[in-house]
Protein backbone atom coordinates (compact mmCIF):
# COMPACT_ATOMS: atom_id res chain seq x y z
CA UNK A 1 0.00 0.00 0.00
CA UNK A 2 1.17 3.50 -0.77
CA UNK A 3 1.77 5.86 2.13
CA UNK A 4 0.03 9.26 2.04
CA UNK A 5 1.81 12.04 0.22
CA UNK A 6 2.85 14.19 3.16
CA UNK A 7 3.41 17.25 0.98
CA UNK A 8 -0.26 17.21 -0.08
CA UNK A 9 -1.48 16.40 3.44
CA UNK A 10 -1.63 20.00 4.81
CA UNK A 11 -3.72 21.16 1.83
CA UNK A 12 -5.85 18.04 2.11
CA UNK A 13 -6.44 18.58 5.81
CA UNK A 14 -7.51 22.16 5.19
CA UNK A 15 -10.06 20.93 2.66
CA UNK A 16 -11.33 17.95 4.60
CA UNK A 17 -11.61 19.74 7.94
CA UNK A 18 -14.23 21.96 6.34
CA UNK A 19 -16.35 18.97 5.27
CA UNK A 20 -19.29 18.72 7.62
CA UNK A 21 -21.71 16.12 6.35
CA UNK A 22 -19.91 15.95 3.03
CA UNK A 23 -16.91 17.26 1.17
CA UNK A 24 -18.34 20.10 -0.86
CA UNK A 25 -15.04 21.92 -0.36
CA UNK A 26 -13.05 19.77 -2.73
CA UNK A 27 -12.42 22.04 -5.68
CA UNK A 28 -12.61 21.75 -9.44
CA UNK A 29 -9.28 21.54 -11.26
CA UNK A 30 -8.19 21.14 -14.88
CA UNK A 31 -7.02 17.58 -15.58
CA UNK A 32 -3.31 17.74 -16.50
CA UNK A 33 -1.84 15.96 -19.53
CA UNK A 34 0.64 14.15 -17.26
CA UNK A 35 0.22 13.16 -13.60
CA UNK A 36 2.95 10.98 -12.10
CA UNK A 37 2.15 11.45 -8.40
CA UNK A 38 -0.17 9.02 -6.60
CA UNK A 39 -3.35 10.24 -4.93
CA UNK A 40 -3.77 10.45 -1.14
CA UNK A 41 -6.46 8.56 0.75
CA UNK A 42 -7.88 8.73 4.26
CA UNK A 43 -11.02 8.65 6.38
CA UNK A 44 -12.92 11.26 8.33
CA UNK A 45 -14.86 10.09 11.40
CA UNK A 46 -17.70 12.06 12.95
CA UNK A 47 -18.94 10.44 16.16
CA UNK A 48 -22.28 11.10 17.82
CA UNK A 49 -20.40 12.21 20.96
CA UNK A 50 -18.66 15.08 19.13
CA UNK A 51 -15.40 13.24 18.39
CA UNK A 52 -14.10 14.34 14.98
CA UNK A 53 -10.97 12.82 13.45
CA UNK A 54 -9.11 12.52 10.17
CA UNK A 55 -7.01 9.37 9.89
CA UNK A 56 -4.76 7.97 7.22
CA UNK A 57 -3.99 4.40 6.21
CA UNK A 58 -3.89 1.32 8.38
CA UNK A 59 -5.57 2.21 11.67
CA UNK A 60 -8.19 0.72 13.98
CA UNK A 61 -10.55 2.84 16.07
CA UNK A 62 -11.72 0.92 19.17
CA UNK A 63 -15.04 1.38 21.00
CA UNK A 64 -14.99 -0.13 24.50
CA UNK A 65 -18.43 -1.28 25.70
CA UNK A 66 -20.41 1.74 24.50
CA UNK A 67 -23.28 0.38 22.38
CA UNK A 68 -24.62 3.91 21.97
CA UNK A 69 -21.52 5.29 20.24
CA UNK A 70 -21.88 5.55 16.49
CA UNK A 71 -19.84 7.00 13.65
CA UNK A 72 -20.48 8.63 10.31
CA UNK A 73 -17.53 7.58 8.17
CA UNK A 74 -16.26 9.43 5.09
CA UNK A 75 -13.42 7.66 3.22
CA UNK A 76 -11.89 10.08 0.72
CA UNK A 77 -9.32 10.44 -2.02
CA UNK A 78 -7.45 13.60 -3.03
CA UNK A 79 -5.07 14.43 -5.87
CA UNK A 80 -3.91 17.80 -7.25
CA UNK A 81 -4.44 16.39 -10.76
CA UNK A 82 -7.95 15.13 -9.98
CA UNK A 83 -9.44 11.90 -8.68
CA UNK A 84 -10.98 9.85 -11.47
CA UNK A 85 -12.34 7.01 -9.36
CA UNK A 86 -12.85 6.12 -5.72
CA UNK A 87 -14.12 2.65 -4.74
CA UNK A 88 -14.94 1.63 -1.16
CA UNK A 89 -15.14 -2.06 -0.21
CA UNK A 90 -16.28 -2.91 3.32
CA UNK A 91 -17.36 -5.80 5.51
CA UNK A 92 -18.37 -6.55 9.10
CA UNK A 93 -17.34 -9.57 11.18
CA UNK A 94 -19.11 -10.49 14.43
CA UNK A 95 -17.49 -12.99 16.83
CA UNK A 96 -19.23 -14.15 20.00
CA UNK A 97 -18.47 -16.52 22.86
CA UNK A 98 -21.06 -17.93 25.19
CA UNK A 99 -20.04 -20.45 27.83
CA UNK A 100 -16.96 -21.53 25.88
CA UNK A 101 -18.89 -21.94 22.62
CA UNK A 102 -17.94 -19.53 19.85
CA UNK A 103 -19.74 -18.33 16.77
CA UNK A 104 -18.97 -15.87 14.02
CA UNK A 105 -20.92 -14.09 11.31
CA UNK A 106 -19.65 -12.12 8.33
CA UNK A 107 -21.57 -9.35 6.52
CA UNK A 108 -20.44 -7.97 3.16
CA UNK A 109 -21.70 -4.80 1.50
CA UNK A 110 -21.86 -3.75 -2.13
CA UNK A 111 -18.91 -1.61 -3.21
CA UNK A 112 -19.49 2.14 -3.44
CA UNK A 113 -17.90 3.69 -6.53
CA UNK A 114 -17.67 7.32 -7.59
CA UNK A 115 -16.07 8.01 -10.96
CA UNK A 116 -15.65 10.47 -13.79
CA UNK A 117 -14.60 10.18 -17.44
CA UNK A 118 -12.96 13.56 -17.96
CA UNK A 119 -9.73 13.81 -19.95
CA UNK A 120 -6.72 16.15 -20.11
CA UNK A 121 -7.79 19.81 -20.29
CA UNK A 122 -11.27 19.19 -18.90
CA UNK A 123 -12.60 20.18 -15.46
CA UNK A 124 -12.78 17.51 -12.77
CA UNK A 125 -12.88 17.31 -8.94
CA UNK A 126 -9.59 17.07 -7.06
CA UNK A 127 -11.29 14.84 -4.46
CA UNK A 128 -14.06 12.28 -4.11
CA UNK A 129 -15.56 10.64 -1.05
CA UNK A 130 -18.08 8.07 0.08
CA UNK A 131 -20.17 7.81 3.24
CA UNK A 132 -21.50 5.10 5.54
CA UNK A 133 -22.12 4.65 9.24
CA UNK A 134 -21.20 2.24 12.01
CA UNK A 135 -23.36 1.63 15.05
CA UNK A 136 -22.42 -1.40 17.19
CA UNK A 137 -25.99 -1.99 18.38
CA UNK A 138 -26.88 -2.94 14.80
CA UNK A 139 -24.82 -6.11 15.31
CA UNK A 140 -24.87 -6.81 19.06
CA UNK A 141 -27.24 -6.32 21.99
CA UNK A 142 -26.48 -5.54 25.62
CA UNK A 143 -25.24 -8.57 27.53
CA UNK A 144 -23.85 -10.42 24.52
CA UNK A 145 -20.15 -11.24 24.67
CA UNK A 146 -19.47 -10.24 21.06
CA UNK A 147 -16.74 -8.35 19.26
CA UNK A 148 -17.70 -6.53 16.06
CA UNK A 149 -15.18 -5.40 13.44
CA UNK A 150 -16.00 -3.21 10.44
CA UNK A 151 -13.18 -2.80 7.96
CA UNK A 152 -12.86 -1.02 4.64
CA UNK A 153 -10.42 -0.55 1.80
CA UNK A 154 -10.52 2.49 -0.46
CA UNK A 155 -9.03 2.34 -3.95
CA UNK A 156 -8.26 5.80 -5.37
CA UNK A 157 -7.22 6.30 -9.00
CA UNK A 158 -6.21 9.65 -10.49
CA UNK A 159 -6.48 10.73 -14.13
CA UNK A 160 -2.84 9.72 -14.73
CA UNK A 161 -3.70 6.10 -13.87
CA UNK A 162 -1.89 6.19 -10.51
CA UNK A 163 -3.65 4.12 -7.85
CA UNK A 164 -3.39 4.23 -4.06
CA UNK A 165 -5.10 2.07 -1.46
CA UNK A 166 -6.09 3.23 2.02
CA UNK A 167 -7.74 1.18 4.74
CA UNK A 168 -9.24 1.47 8.19
CA UNK A 169 -11.41 -0.33 10.68
CA UNK A 170 -13.55 0.10 13.76
CA UNK A 171 -13.74 -2.52 16.50
CA UNK A 172 -16.41 -2.79 19.20
CA UNK A 173 -15.38 -4.79 22.27
CA UNK A 174 -17.76 -5.49 25.17
How high is the pLDDT of residue 22?
A: 47
pTM recorded for the entire structure: 0.80
- Give tens-digit pLDDT for 22-39: 445 689 999 999 999 999
- Give tens-digit pLDDT for 52-81: 888 887 788 888 888 888 999 999 999 999
- Give tens-digit pLDDT for 145-170: 899 999 999 999 999 999 999 999 99
Answer for the pair 140, 95: CB distance below 8 angstroms, yes or no: no
Phi-psi region of 117 (alpha: psi -120 to 50; beta: other; left: phi over 0): alpha
The full set of domains in the chain, from first to last, is 9-21+39-173 (2.60.40)
Share of the chain above pLDDT 70, in %: 84
Answer for the pair 109, 98: CB distance below 8 angstroms, yes or no: no
Answer for the pair 165, 101: CB distance below 8 angstroms, yes or no: no
Answer for the pair 71, 19: CB distance below 8 angstroms, yes or no: no
d(CA 69, CA 122): 43
Mean pLDDT of the chain: 84
Judged on CB neighbours under 10 Å (0-12, 13-18, 19+), 104 is: exposed
Amino acid sequence: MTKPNLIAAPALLALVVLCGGGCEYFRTITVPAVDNSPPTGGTRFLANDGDDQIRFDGFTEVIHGDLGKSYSIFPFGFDNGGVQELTISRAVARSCTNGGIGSSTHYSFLDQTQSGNESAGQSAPNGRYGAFSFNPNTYVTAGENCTVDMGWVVEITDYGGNTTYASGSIRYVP
